[in-house]
Amino acid sequence: MAALTGLEPVAAAPARAPRARVWRGAVFLVAGLYFLVPLGASLWYTLHSPAAGVSFAPYAELLTAEGFARSLLLSLGLAAATIAVVLLLALPAMLAARLFAPRLRPVLEVLCTLPLVVPPITFVAGLATSLRTGTEVLAPTPFWATIIAVQDPGFPVVLVLAYVVLVLPFVYRSLDAGLRTMDVRTLVEAARNLGASWPYVLFRVVVPNLRSALASASFLTLALVLGEYTVASLLGYEPFAVWIVTVSGSRGQLSVAVSILSLLIIWLLLLAVSTVFGRERKS
User: Is the pLDDT at 40 greater than 50, yes or no?
Assistant: yes
pLDDT tens readout for residues 108-165 = 989 988 888 888 888 888 888 888 888 888 877 877 888 888 888 889 999 999 999 9
Kindly indicate the confidence band of residue 1, based on its pLDDT and cuts at 50, 70 and 90.
very low
Phi, psi (degrees; rounded to nearest 5) at 49: -140, 145
**What average pLDDT score do residues 55-83 get?**
84
Beta-carbon contacts of residue 135 (< 8 Å; ≥ 6 apart): 144, 147, 148
Percent of the chain's residues with pLDDT above 90: 14
Residue-level pLDDT at 280: 57
Is pLDDT larger for residue 177 or for residue 277? Answer: 177
- For the ranges 60-74, 139-153, 163-177, 203-217, the one whose mean pLDDT is highest: 163-177
Q: Please answer whether residues 82 and 225 qualify as being in contact, where contact means their C-beta atoms are separated by less than 8 angstroms.
A: yes
Q: Please answer whether residues 13 and 6 qualify as being in contact, where contact means their C-beta atoms are separated by less than 8 angstroms.
A: no
Q: Please answer whether residues 168 and 90 qualify as being in contact, where contact means their C-beta atoms are separated by less than 8 angstroms.
A: yes
The backbone region for 182, taken as left when phi is positive above 0, alpha when psi lies in -120 to 50, beta otherwise, is beta
Residue-level pLDDT at 4: 47
pTM above 0.85, yes or no: no
Q: Please answer whether residues 90 and 179 qualify as being in contact, where contact means their C-beta atoms are separated by less than 8 angstroms.
A: no
Is pLDDT larger for residue 279 or for residue 199? Answer: 199
